[in-house]
Amino acid sequence: MSAPLRIAVAGLGVVGAETVRLISTQGEMLARRCGRPVVVQAVSARDKTRDRGISLQGIEWFDDPVAMARNTDVDVVCELIGGSEGIARDVCGTALDSGKHVVTANKALIAMHGANLGQVADTAGLALAYEAAVAGGIPIVKALREGLAANQVNRLQGILNGTCNYILTAMRETGRDFGEILAEAQAHGYAEADPSFDIDGVDAAHKLAILTSLTFGCEIDFGTVHIEGIRHIDSIDIRFASELGYRIKLLGIAEMTDAGIQQRVHPAMVPLDAPIASVEGVFNGIVADGDFVGTTMFEGRGAGAGPTASAVVADIVDIARDRKTPTFGVPADELNVARVAAMADRDGLYYVRVMVRDKPGVFADIAGALRDSQISIESAIQRGRAEDGVVPVILTTHETKEARMQDALRLIGALDSVAETPRMIRIETV
């Protein structure tokens, strides 16, 4: 058996501590699968005295993770601190500069600086591994980079944020409102105290930008991801979605279109019988359509200590076995610069909810706005009477361009009889 693979772990939050625990409890099995022992030789965190439920005996302690990345004699540095700037970035950069492989769970860092760090890693023949950064325990990076390597994947869509999926699932199951469910999720630890990163779609967008690069062999381009979150989803929308045969999911979509690559994160209605509709609660799911393999789906827990540690250690096993792959599937200097398709070019179906003052002619006004934007109505529902006289009108459209839909929403929003900003949810049928 070969020499042990020596690991340094930077950051001992829930993921860091679980990674140390996993390597210890699965030691014998890992040694068989790696062909060599894996040992945690150094760790770094802020507070040495805190009880994390793991033994750090015999493991070198560093207060400064960057000093650890530079000075300690290990093969791999695991960066489990988080954040796209500052210490996390310094740890990864320093480790690579010192000839050490890097394994990270840091989606923000890879989305913002993966191109540069990947270039450094590829040039030095080192791993910059980030399976844990996307969809937690689901081995989707490996699937796209290796398992589906024979395919051009032309479209990928994923439920990439477990907090949002938990909220949307709970809203449907209980009929309750967004705010209530969010508060409950925070109480259960499924949502952060400041939830905006999750519920406004930024976290999903970080992951999507990484998947887009892997899928299309292009440089990561986080800046051009169209991002909308789930704050505006009302329990009315959830109810009407069910009635129309859909579920509402926060999707990340990367698609090759005639106009270029489109990257977008937004709530979407998906048909009830689509595989991704059955991905519920805190689970993540990714559907990739390859030109030879057809449709594939990968599902699992997208966050949490166990699933994330599972992905971190899978990357470590690859390094132990010397299984090498360029950071984004092809060498960094061969990555294309993506031609970006504008969001205005999206072709598809739309759901629109307009809250109207219930008086004669309002429906004709809305229909006129859609006609003037050259949009055909596929179905319309107006139901119920409210005490305040405000009732929802629900419309679905035939296929149209996003730009026309935005025009229509402006026209509808300006109508006298319309009481609130009209809400639109895109329908994704493929």
Q: Is 252 in the site for a second copy (CB under 8 A)?
A: no
How remote is the C-alpha of 12 from its chain's centroid? 23
Q: Within positions 335 to 394, which residues make up the interface with a second copy, using CB under 8 A?
A: none
Q: Is 331 in the site for a second copy (CB under 8 A)?
A: yes
Q: Is 430 in the site for a second copy (CB under 8 A)?
A: no
Task: Give the helix, strand, coil percentages of the chain, each rounded to 5.
Answer: 40, 25, 35
Residue from 125, 294, 360, 384 binding a second copy (CB under 8 A): 294
Nearest approach, Cβ of 297 to a second copy (angstroms)?
Answer: 4
Q: Is 36 in the site for a second copy (CB under 8 A)?
A: no
Q: Is 189 in the site for a second copy (CB under 8 A)?
A: no
Q: Is 298 in the site for a second copy (CB under 8 A)?
A: yes
Q: Is 160 in the site for a second copy (CB under 8 A)?
A: no
**How many CB atoms neighbour CB 303 within 10 A?**
23
Task: Count CA atoms within 13 Å of residue 278 on its CB side.
Answer: 7
Residue from 46, 188, 324, 339 binding a second copy (CB under 8 A): 324
417 Cβ partners below 8 Å, 6+ apart? 356, 357, 359, 361, 362, 365
Q: Is 290 in the site for a second copy (CB under 8 A)?
A: yes
d(CA 48, CA 56): 10
Q: Is 297 in the site for a second copy (CB under 8 A)?
A: yes
Q: Is 139 in the site for a second copy (CB under 8 A)?
A: yes
Residues that bind a second copy (rule: CB under 8 A) add up to a total of 60
Q: Is 321 in the site for a second copy (CB under 8 A)?
A: yes
**How many CB atoms neighbour CB 419 within 10 A?**
17
Instruction: Reduce the DSSP state of residue 213 to 3 states and report it.
Output: helix
Q: Is 186 in the site for a second copy (CB under 8 A)?
A: no
Query: Considering only 54-62, 167-175, 253-261, 286-294, which stretch makes contact with a second copy by CB under 8 A?
Result: 286-294
Task: Select which of 100, 107, 207, 249 is catalytic.
Answer: 207
Which residues make beta-bridge pairs with 380? 395
Q: Is 18 in the site for a second copy (CB under 8 A)?
A: yes
Residue from 137, 162, 195, 229 binding a second copy (CB under 8 A): 137
d(CA 342, CA 253): 13
d(CA 90, CA 64): 11
Q: Is 296 in the site for a second copy (CB under 8 A)?
A: yes
Which residue, 144 or 425, has its beta carbon nearer to a second copy? 144
Positive or negative: CA dihedral 12, 13, 16, 22: positive
Which residue, 22 or 182, has its beta carbon nearer to a second copy? 22
Q: Is 13 in the site for a second copy (CB under 8 A)?
A: no
Query: Considering only 40-48, 181-189, 243-251, 302-310, which stretch makes contact with a second copy by CB under 8 A?
Result: 302-310
**How many CB atoms neighbour CB 275 within 10 A?**
13
Which residue, 281 or 368, has its beta carbon nearer to a second copy? 281
Nearest approach, Cβ of 151 to a second copy (angstroms)?
Answer: 6
Q: Within positions 191 to 250, which residues make up the interface with a second copy, using CB under 8 A?
A: 217
Q: Is 310 in the site for a second copy (CB under 8 A)?
A: yes
Contact at 8 Å (CB) between 6 and 75? yes
Nearest approach, Cβ of 136 to a second copy (angstroms)?
Answer: 8
Q: Is 48 a catalytic residue?
A: no
List C-alpha distances in Å: 80 to 14, 54, 112, 312: 9, 16, 16, 9
Q: Is 188 in the site for a second copy (CB under 8 A)?
A: no
Nearest approach, Cβ of 40 to a second copy (angstroms)?
Answer: 14
Residue from 22, 42, 160, 211 binding a second copy (CB under 8 A): 22
d(CA 201, CA 229): 5
Which residue, 229 or 290, has its beta carbon nearer to a second copy? 290
Contact at 8 Å (CB) between 44 and 61? yes
**How many CB atoms neighbour CB 305 within 10 A?**
17
**Quick one: which of 331, 182, 340 has its CA closest to 255?**
340
E strands within 202-279? Answer: 226-227, 246-257, 260-271
**How many CB atoms neighbour CB 222 within 10 A?**
23
146 Cβ partners below 8 Å, 6+ apart? 325
Which residue, 29 or 193, has its beta carbon nearer to a second copy? 29
Backbone angles phi, psi at 82, to 5 degrees: 95, 165
Binding site for a second copy (CB under 8 A): 18, 22, 26, 29-30, 32-33, 35, 131, 137-139, 142-143, 146-152, 217, 273, 275, 278-279, 290-301, 304, 306-307, 309-314, 316-318, 321-326, 329-331, 334
Active site residues: 207
